[in-house]
Structure 1
Amino acid sequence: MEAALKTFFSSPRFAVAGASSDPSKFGHKVFAWYLTHSLPTTPLNPRSPSVSVLFKDHTTAPSPSALENPSSYSLSIITPPGVTKTLLKEAKEAGIPAVWMQPGSFDAEGLEYAKKEFKAVIAGPGGGSSEGEWCVLVDGEEGLRVAGREGSRL
């Protein structure tokens, strides 16, 4: 998993699919995590032109293909498994090399597809979260350390 973490966090930019203005949602918490670590991050949300996180509005992109130079992004996914399957196909077609599928965002079929199609996949059992799955809120600090990006925080 260390190689996947290094690949994921070596990207110059990040996108968060499922980003939300609602502080109770994990899409909000994950997007805020990237911002508090001073990582260049774009929220993805096809239903809202912006999300409000950390007292600021952030313009969203509707899909991975709408990102400027998608191949320079790693993608965190916080969407229901059915949405994640479509999102993974869009991300692959757009050229995104690495994905982090948060707990609850994928099923076995989605995980298998991701493992076949992406350079790096972080998901599934083995993380430090209470569910035993990899979560950026729990395991992201280690990923930053592995990639040599630790210490960048607001």
Structure 2
Amino acid sequence: MVACRAATPTPSLPLVNTQADIDAFLAGAPHAVVGASTDRTKYGNKVLRCYQQTARPVHVVHPREREIEGVSCVASIADLPAGVHGLSIITPPAVTEQVVQAALAKGIRHLWMQPGAESAKAIELARAAGLNVIAGGPCLLVVLRFRE
């Protein structure tokens, strides 16, 4: 199993996830990874491979890459196809705030801010809009039992 960046909730951020939130996130498909990397040692790549390992449909958002781990990339959240259920976010906190805005514009209702990607402003914005937000707690890699 792979450890995530932060094994415990970030103290300055509100813990805003429950098992019901996680279940709702995982119940739908497809998902998209925002912050994926071509570097297999980076968490953005591991999250993408976790979706693949668990046979979950996944899209990749990356502004420069054309393909990561065999998945074609789109340049922005706006370029995702209709019907994306949720986003796994592995970006710096300031970028996560922009990701939330783009998710709202696209109509994506489920967000999982992976450890290290969270910001209080992003969480507040998403919660105020009624989105299902997982932040300040478990990592997708742990929940889905990713293995390298």
TM above 0.5, one fold? yes
Determine the structure 2 residue equivalent to 1:58: 71
Larger relative helix fraction? 1
Could you tell me how far apart the structure 1 residues matched to 2:131 and 2:125 are?
A: 12
Could you tell me how far apart the structure 2 residues matched to 1:78 and 1:65 are?
A: 17
Structure 1: where are the runs of 5+ without partners?
A: 125-132, 142-154
Larger RCO (alpha carbons 8 Å, 6+ apart): 2
1:30 correspondence with 2:47 = yes
CA contact (8 A) 2:47 2:140 kept: yes
SS of equivalent to 2:33: strand
Determine the structure 2 residue equivalent to 1:103: 115
Letter of the 2:99 counterpart: L
Structure 2 matches for 1:2-81, cutoff 5 A? 2-51=19-68, 53=69, 57-69=70-82, 71-81=83-93
Could you tell me how far apart the structure 1 residues matched to 2:28 and 2:141 are?
A: 18
Letter of the 1:27 counterpart: G
Structure 2: where are the runs of 5+ without partners?
A: 1-17
Deviation of residue 43 (structure 1)? 1.1
Could you tell me how far apart the structure 1 residues matched to 2:130 and 2:46 are?
A: 25
Letter of the 1:114 counterpart: A
TM-score, length of structure 2 as denominator length: 0.81
TM-score, length of structure 1 as denominator length: 0.78
Q: Once superposed, which parts of structure 1, at least 4 consecutive aligned residues long, lie more than 3 Å away?
A: none
When the two chains are superposed, the root-mean-square deviation of aligned CA atoms in Å is 1.3
Determine the structure 1 residue equivalent to 2:6: none
1:93 correspondence with 2:105 = yes
Could you tell me how far apart the structure 1 residues matched to 2:107 and 2:138 are?
A: 23
Count of residues in correspondence between the two structures: 128
